[in-house]
Amino acid sequence: MTEENGKFFLQKLADNIEAGQDIPGEVINHVQENLAIPTNQSSICVDGGYTEEQAEGELARPGADLGISISLIKLGFTPLEAFLAVYNHRVKNGQQYGWHTDIHADPVDGSHVHSRIFSGCGHCNIAYMRSEEYGVDSEKVRELLNVIRTYQVSNPESMRFVNLDREHKEKGILVVNTDEVTIYPWDKEKDSQFFVYDSVRDAKLLGDIVESINKEANGKNITFEQLKEVVDQHTSATLGLLGSSKGKPMYSITIEGGKLLVELAGNAPSID
């Protein structure tokens, strides 16, 4: 799709949005004004703090690629194996391993960081702080992050790393149930933030990674269903534990008959 055709497609969808009376105007406006054509070089986190330039249209999923590696740890992979399973898939397809932190955990000036902040990625941080909710060993999560940081230094060209500079102001969670569009999380001009999860595109990526793992002669063999079950469990845990997301409204975004449909899908869980 050419850039001009892409803009026409997005504008047509924005003009043909259909939402129920229970959908707040701020949700409709954010969706209409922040539609994007998907790009496929890496992934970003569901975090609402990515600007348009930082998001680009990449697949939005919990913890970015790092989140998949955490799920693989639960399935018996060592931290290094869990990283390389995703990293190798990305690299062999000319892509990058996606992850992020933020300036609260990794300030650019090297100032003191609060000891409870393990990583600026909330999905990674909470999996370490509340590892029992994820079924993983917290020290293995720490080891995974150390592996990722090492590769970031030695192979930066194969890593898609962002240090987010924002305060959490997400108003809800947008679950994009189509692979035809995505949504920029942060409209900086209007200071409108939403968590974004590209569920359909994520399922495709998980299937591709499972296929890559099972082709390798390393003794590892998993199914899509196994990985998807762990990913869903970890996603629910993160949404329910993070103060920025727990209990917030979730909205389903779909395309049907040329119309962009926005529907209320419930609320994120809340875990004490």
In whole angstroms, give the CA distance from residue 130 to residue 126: 6
CB of 175 within 8 A of CB of 235? no
| Closest among 205, 217, 209 to 88, alpha carbons compared | 209
- Is the model's pTM score more than 0.85? yes
Specify the pLDDT at position 112.
Answer: 52
Specify the pLDDT at position 4.
Answer: 82
The residues near 267 (Cβ < 8 Å, ≥ 6 apart) are 247, 248, 249, 250
Block means of pLDDT (10 residues each) for the chain, 272 residues, are 86 95 97 97 98 98 98 98 98 98 84 69 96 98 97 97 96 98 97 98 98 88 97 97 96 96 97 92
In whole angstroms, give the CA distance from residue 232 to residue 134: 10
CB of 115 within 8 A of CB of 129? no
CA distance to 6, 35, 173, 181, 216, per residue, from 11 (Å): 9, 9, 22, 12, 43
| Closest among 91, 125, 130 to 106, alpha carbons compared | 125
Specify the pLDDT at position 238.
Answer: 97
The alpha carbon of residue 236 and the mean position of all alpha carbons in its chain are separated, in whole angstroms, by 13
Q: How many CB atoms lie within 10 A of CB 221?
A: 10
CA distance to 99, 103, 127, 148, 223, per residue, from 96 (Å): 10, 22, 23, 12, 23
CB of 260 within 8 A of CB of 18? yes
